[in-house]
Amino acid sequence: MVEGAVPIAQIKDDGIISYLAPNDFNLLVDNITVQVADGKVMGGAQFWRKHPQRHQRKVVFRPRGTVASDEYNLWQGFAVTPTKGYGKQRRLLRHIWRIICRRDKAKFKYLMMWLAWCCQNPGERAETVIALMSRIQGAGKDTLSAVVRRFFGTHGVLVNNTRDLLGQFNAGLQNTAWVSGEELLWSRNMVGNEALKSLITGDTITLEVKNGARWKEPNRLKIMMTTNSAHAVQAGVGDRRFYVLDVDDEMAQQRSWFDPMRKDLDEGGDGQFLWLLLNLQLKDFHPRHRPKTAELIDQQYRSADSVSQWASTCIEADGIATAVPYPTTLPLSQTIETASLLSSYTDFCRRQGQRCVDERSFGKALATMFGKDARARLPAQGSGGRRPWGYAVPDAEAWRQALDQYLGI
């Protein structure tokens, strides 16, 4: 029994259960017949379903507390034995400090607290995703995620395809507490972005067995994703779901760095690291209270709408490239004709392969960034000419501050 459904489950040798659709269960026991009263023969599926002593329990995931006799606890405990000690985890801690966090104390403290919180609260959702990015392969960004996944054993999964995490038939996630996501490229998966956001912060997730039961389950997922893409996540306005770190590549593919670390982990370092995380004092720490990194701000710029990306390009160039009335770069800190701004924006979208917003939406975005009084008439061009509309464009520093406020950065 699960919330709102009664699926049929098969218990494996490791204690993990897998769900069977009714048709699959019928096929599994189709070769079994049982002789009942009066010499009648009953099929195995029907016999089991109707038997008063059939094995029936409520499925729970309960790392702490007692389990009643009519409940089946999915939590199998950690697959690694925590062991007090330092010597064998020393190289891993150095890797986290020097390579993953680039010797930044604030980043190191948050990451260690986040990992400790995940291990001390295996039945809860983290509400934030750690995203580790690097420009080249072999920098060591997957190392940490693999170590923690080893802690969680059957409750940890490696995902390198969005369908495995966001797909329709996902009943296996009922037993999952840790997800290592490799090269999922969420930033390019516009369809899956909203589903991912719900998966990160939602109280529940909907599970479904193919051709079988469908029900809601408490969300207990903790996700660490790694990528070589410069645009790692789709970070929206005021985003609070991601903690992005740019992993240093100074030791990329250096066996002298990684081989001794892996040897130490295999010889007890993973148990020492788990002991450290389980005993780290969290006080009032929660993963959602995370500091903002420069890497996340960069992801927000990359994830911004086309008008904001055009604005960021103009700020960096300290001018506005336009083809109206002829190719030129207009300096900032002046009132610029709307037609010239729109021409610059549409040309930017064309070169970047992005879809332009309409003129009305473009004007609203400029008014939000520059202020409602920024729109003004320019002097007439020639005697008797019309006075075109324009916007008072600030200097680069003021525009950057306005853009950051517009994006919630």
Average pLDDT value for the chain: 88
Q: How confident is the model at residue 387 (pLDDT cuts 50, 70, 90)?
A: confident
Domain with CATH 1.10.10.10 in the chain: 304-407
pLDDT category, 303, cuts 50, 70, 90? confident
Percent of the chain whose pLDDT exceeds 70: 94
Kindly give, in sequence order, each residue whose CB lies less than 8 Å from that of residue 361, ignoring residues fewer than 6 positions away: 307
Q: Are 386 and 380 in contact (CB under 8 A)?
A: yes
* pLDDT tens-digit series, residues 331-349: 999 999 998 999 999 999 9
Euclidean distance between CA atoms 19 and 1, whole angstroms = 12
What confidence tens digit (pLDDT) does each residue in 130-174 have?
989 888 888 999 999 999 999 999 999 999 877 777 778 888 888
Could you tell me where in the chain the CATH 3.40.50.300 domains are found?
A: 90-297
| Residue 189 pLDDT > 70 | no
- What is the model's pLDDT at position 361? 92
Residue 67's pLDDT band, with cuts at 50, 70 and 90, is: very high
Closest by CA to 88, choosing from 279, 281, 282, 275, is: 275
SS3 355: coil
**What class is the 304-407 domain?**
mainly alpha
Name the CATH topology of 90-297: Rossmann fold (3.40.50)
* Three-state secondary structure of 116-160: HHHHHCCCCCCCCEEEEECCCCCCCHHHHHHHHHHHHHHHEEEEC
Residue 127 in contact with residue 288, Cβ under 8 Å? yes
Burial of 93 (C-beta count, 10 Å sphere; 0-12/13-18/19+)? middle
What distance in Å separates the CA atoms of residue 216 and residue 85, rounded to the nearest whole number? Answer: 41
Give the H or E element holding residue 11: strand 8-11
Residues 6+ apart with CB under 8 A from 351: none
pLDDT range class, residue 185, cuts 50, 70, 90: low
pLDDT tens digits, one per residue of 21-63: 888 999 999 999 999 888 889 999 999 999 999 888 999 999 9
Strands 319-322 vs 242-246: parallel, antiparallel or unpaired: unpaired
Q: What is the pTM of this model?
A: 0.80
Residue 9 or residue 166, greater confidence? 9
For the segment 278-283, the average pLDDT, to the nearest whole number, is 96
DSSP string, 231-274: S-----TT--SEEEEE---TTTT-HHHHHHHHHHIIIIIHHHHH
Report whether pLDDT(119) > 60: yes
Q: How far apart, in whole angstroms, are the C-alpha atoms of residue 239 and residue 296? A: 9
How long a stretch of residues is the chain? 409
Helix axis angle for 105-120 and 270-279, nearest 10°, is 90
Beta bridge partners of 179: 157, 223
Q: What is the pLDDT of residues 242-257, one digit of tens each?
A: 888 999 999 999 999 9
Residues linked to residue 131 through DSSP beta bridges, in sequence order: 225, 244
